[in-house]
Amino acid sequence: MARSDVDVKKLLAQMTLEEKVGQLVQLNAMFLGESSAEITGPLEKLGIPQSYMSKLGSTLNFHGAQEMMDIQRKHLEEDRNHIPLMFMMDVIHGFRTIFPIPLGLGASFDPETVKECSRMAAREASAGGVQVTFTPMVDYVRDARWGRVMESCGEDPYLNSVMGAAQVEAFQGDDLADHDNIAACVKHFAAYGGAEAGRDYNTVEISERLLREYYLPAYKACIDAGVKMLMPSFNSLNGVPSIANKWLMNKVLKDEWGFDGVIISDYNAIGELKKHGITDDMRLGAKMAFDCGCDIEMMSSSYYKHLADLVNDGEISEQKLDEAVLRVLELKKELGLFEDPYHGASPEKENSVCLTPEHRDIARRAAEASAVLLKNDGILPLSEDIKRIALVGPFAATNEIKGSWSCNGENEDCVSVYEGIRSLLPNAEIIVAEGCSAKYDELSEEGIDAAVAAAKGADAVVLCLGEPQKYSGEGNSRADIGLPGIQMQLARKVIAANPNAVALTFSGRPLVLTELDKLVPAILHMWFPGTEGGSAAADLLFGRANPSGKVPMSFPKAVGQCPIYYNHPSTGRPKSKPDEIHQPYSSNYIGCGNLPLYPFGHGLSYSSFVYESLELDTDTMTKDSEITVSITVLNDSDRAGKEVVQLYMHDIWASAVRPIQSLIAFEKTELGAHERKTITFKVREPMLRFYDLDCNHISEPGEFTLSTGCADHLVLTKSFTLK
């Protein structure tokens, strides 16, 4: 049956109340396969009988196209209405071909790279049976202790907005029924990234002004980009869990923003209302969530047990239930599932599309674009004529560099640093000495002497350090975000033996690298780069590729600075010299200073970029006019490279305290050797707005500055006045 022939309203009219509720229940695929009848324990715990499985509307956590097709075929045979299931999965940074973690993609400052990666992921995931991805995650983050910073694009709301919208557009394309496209679900609404003390699932307490200014813009950008689905967050926000927060879900999301897509709970989020202490009556919990617009309940049974009774008892109108079911059916129709319930998936297509040379090339280029050269005293790039190289550290030869939330990606698919360098330099002598573990509780020094010996006889040493990939991601918060275990002990001894060493670091978050920064002449940070991480590392280390990434989330000097972020408000007693260690009676850390080790927007290159001028076409703007900003950059070197030109704004006088800087525009541009380019930006009045004390979104007349550079190192500044 063609999509155009499906009348979902007519289909809805023939459904029983129980069948309608079923469309709003989502369970794991383990309950739906051929052997599902054997899985009685988990279903009994949920209180859902096996006979109900034919009425479900969607599922998640299946394994590949064949399982998806088997489940869908069985479901269509058993559902009297022949309504196809929707198959959903967390395709966060790749399906089988894994590209850098989202925080790494944020470091690319390149929406086109994000789109290319997301389109690739959609092709692979769709071939593997996925129709909806729980992506993008656009939670605004300031605290690197939180493990899920790896899923965000960082500490700037504008950057987060641009990258989130890019993912939505790329995943969904122009036609969801196209087999290369899948629907996107923006998450986690709202402020999940503001978890107190950086501890996952923890409470969030922030003012409405702060929420609207920093945390909400990226969700709104994804909605404006047409995202089909939204997921409320686990956390309580100002005392009320998001899934039951009427102000958040109804006033802001529905009334103000007009979101009319499908809302799905996070995993057992409705069930967790009991653990939050909101209610021990899950009938009431189901009503609270439904009243707040939650259409689909994921992996809990409150809707199955209580939604029909709530309708029969008049506590929820059947019209509201019909509207929720209709949203689900319309999304299925838009995906073309009534015409092709498999959405083009097949094992043959999955095998032919995934991990192709073309897709590996996309992953490699993304890893190169995301890497950040944090420090370089001239030692990088290394010469390809080097005869003897020592690869030292726990990340020297490991394939475990894909990162958390990498869907169907396998460690063995990943190119290690050793493999990348071996491929690039087949005639070089490469000595691998792990030296020690990267785990915090494995402290054996047994391998350090061998690592020191390897370093002593090498022409160059690459220290491959970091945190294990399982140390970031959901549920993985860290109180100490330095290099775990005895890696610094290894680094000290190796560098003492051979100071001609560079550090290649891997992580899912900013790390405290203060001591390492003092010891080594160069640090190249790879994040978790994915399938082609080792190939990208080799190209970058030896100059085949030129680093162009910028820090999307500040690297603190010490964990005690967390949360740390560049766009902090002015204070009544600021330090006059922020880089000084101690300044009495000012907002100050003794012995550390206030500045991060590496600020937002920082990132070096093998090219040398000189910012020659910043010009405004007028020094006065009205609410109906605009200012053209022209920034001229010279590549004063013999090497072509890419530079992220960043434009910051500061509102000098306002009725509410404003941040010291705010990123309002950026552009990544390539400059040839000795090439000069002028990048232009248009500044309009809406870009100057903020939320006043009554949460009105306004701008106020007065003086503003526009600057370029990076957050803590602005090299050029001009002023203008808003009339």
Structure tokens at 48: 């859902």
Radius of gyration of the chain (CA): 26
Q: Is 489 exposed, middle or buried (0-12, 13-18, 19+ CB in 10 A)?
A: middle
602's CB contacts (< 8 A; 6+ apart) are 372, 374, 550, 551, 710, 711, 712, 713
461's CB contacts (< 8 A; 6+ apart) are 389, 390, 392, 454, 455, 494, 495, 498, 500, 501, 502
DSSP string computed for 646-660: EEEEEE-S-SS--BS
**CA distances for 602 relative to 9, 211, 373, 502, 712, angstroms:** 54, 26, 9, 19, 8
Peptide bond into 563 cis (omega under 30): yes
Answer yes or no: 175 catalytic.
no
Enumerate the β-bridge partners of residue 684. 626
What is the maximal distance between C-alpha atoms in the chain? 81
Chain-centre distance for alpha carbon 275: 27
- Classify residue 532 by its DSSP letter: T
What's the 3-state SS for 584-601?
CCCCCCCCCCCCCCECCC
Calpha distance 507→588 (Å, rounded): 28
Please tell me which residue in 90, 266, 295, 413 is annotated as part of the active site: 266
Phi, psi of 146 (to 5 degrees): -70, 125
The DSSP element (H or E) to which 643 belongs, if any, is strand 641-651
Phi, psi of 636 (to 5 degrees): -90, 55
Amino acid letter at 635?
A: N
Calpha distance 720→716 (Å, rounded): 14
Catalytic residues, which ones?
A: 266
